[in-house]
Amino acid sequence: MKKEEVISLGKQLNFDVIEAYPLKLEASGREYWRISNNKNHSLVLCYLDPYKDKHSDFINITNCLNQNNISCPNIIHHNEKLGITLQEDLGDNDLLSFINQENKDHLLKSSLDLLMQIQNSKIESIDRFKENELKEQMISFKKIFCEKFLKIESNNFIDDLISDTIDNLNSHPWVNCHFDFERRNLILNKSEHLTVIDYQDMKIGPIGIDLAGILIDHYYEVDFKDIDNLLTYYSENTTPAIKKDKAFEYLTWGSIQRNIRILGTLSNLYIKHNRIFRLKDLPMILSNLIKMIPEQYECKTILEEKITPLLNKRIKQL
C-alpha cells in the first residue's frame, strides 16, 4: 500500500493519522505500518487483503495468550471489511536488533522461558499440522528453490532426508507451535517484558520447530556450544522434563524441516512477487541446514559441494 492509503484507512477507524511509516511486509502478505497522530501517540496498523485471508486466527490466539498471561500485542480495533487491525505499538526492540555477546545468554534463556509458557498453555481452536502439510512445505525446496530459483534438476537427492524428517517429527512430542518463533518476532516492550508477535500461523506441531526458530537463527552461524548450554536449560526447565540428548534430536529434525521449508518459501516470494530483500539470507539458511543434517545423508555433501556454490553465484547475479 501507499502511505496515503494507510493514512486514509487509519482515519476511517477514527484515529487522526498525520504520519505513517512502513515496518515490514511478511511472507503471508500482511503489511505493517506505524501510524501516529498529532499527540505523538502511535499504533501499529496491520493490513491483510480481506478477499484473501482474515485476522480471526490472530485475534483468537491473542485472546488465549492474554488468558495465559503471555505478553503479546493488545488489539485496539479490528475492521474485518477493511482487513485492518490496529495494535499496540511495542517499539522496535526486537531481539535480533540488540542481542549481543554480553546479553545473549540471558535473552535466549528468557526466550526459552516464553516458549515453554506458550507450549504449555491452553490455546483454543487451533488446528494440528497434517503430515502432508509439513512434507509439502519441504518439497517446495525441490520445486521452487532448486528447479525455479537455481534452475537445476532436483532429482531425488534430498527425498530420503525429507521422508526421514517427517518420520522423526511424527515420533516427537507435539505442542503449541508458533511456527516462526525467531528473534525478530520477539520484542522487548516498553515495560521490558519479552513480547511475542506474528503468531497467527500457530498450530499444534512438532516441538523442535520452534526450538529451531530461536536457537538456530537465520542471521547467525550455528554455534553448537551455545546450543548445548541452552538445551541444558530448556531440558531441565520444561514440563515434563526432557533429556538433553532428546532435546537435541527434536531440535535437529525441527531445524531441518524449518530450513528446507524456508529456502523454498523465500525463493517463491522472489519468483512470484519479486521480493528480493530476503534473498541475502539464503546462504546462511542453507549453511545452517547443512550443519544440522546428520553425517550419514549423502545429500549433505551435495548441498555443500554443489548447491552452495550455485546459490552463491545466483545471489551475485541479482
- Residues 277, 155, single domain; the answer is yes
Q: Which of 153, 182, 194 is nearest to 259 (CA)?
A: 182
Tell me how crowded residue 173 is: count the other CB atoms within 10 A of its CB: 13
- Residues 81, 104, single domain; the answer is no
Of 22-31, 109-118, 262-271, the one with minimum mean pLDDT is 22-31
pLDDT above 90 covers what percent of the chain?
Answer: 91
Q: How does pLDDT run across 119-158, given as a tens digit for each residue?
A: 999 999 999 999 999 999 999 999 999 999 999 998 899 9
Q: Which of 189, 199, 193 is nearest to 88 (CA)?
A: 189
- Residues 137, 41, single domain; the answer is no
pLDDT of 69 above 90: yes
Amino acid type, 16? D
- Residues 109, 154, single domain; the answer is yes
Domain span at residue 107 reads 95-317
- Residues 152, 9, single domain; the answer is no
- Residues 179, 130, single domain; the answer is yes
DSSP 218: T
Place of cell 521449508: 261
Please tell me the distance from the alpha carbon of residue 37 to that of residue 87, in angstroms, as a whole number. Answer: 14
Q: Which of 36, 63, 88 is the last residue of a domain?
A: 88
Q: Which of 53, 88, 123 is the last residue of a domain?
A: 88
- Residues 51, 113, single domain; the answer is no
> Across residues 89-98, what is the average pLDDT?
94
Tell me how crowded residue 164 is: count the other CB atoms within 10 A of its CB: 15
- Residues 71, 109, single domain; the answer is no
Q: How does pLDDT run across 19-66, given as a tens digit for each residue?
A: 999 997 666 678 999 999 988 899 999 999 999 999 999 999 999 999
Cβ partners under 8 Å of residue 6, min gap 6: 17, 20, 33, 35, 45, 47
- Residues 8, 123, single domain; the answer is no
All three cell numbers of 25, joined, read 511486509
- Residues 257, 131, single domain; the answer is yes
Q: Which of 44, 71, 88 is the last residue of a domain?
A: 88
Domain CATH number, residue 133: 3.90.1200.10
- Residues 136, 225, single domain; the answer is yes
Total number of domains in the chain: 2
Q: How does pLDDT run across 182-194, given as a tens digit for each residue?
A: 999 999 988 888 9
What is the pLDDT, as a whole number, of residue 24?
A: 75
What is the pLDDT, as a whole number, of residue 27?
A: 64
- Residues 194, 276, single domain; the answer is yes
With beta carbons less than 8 A apart as the criterion, state whether 69 and 49 touch.
Answer: no
pLDDT of 117 above 90: yes
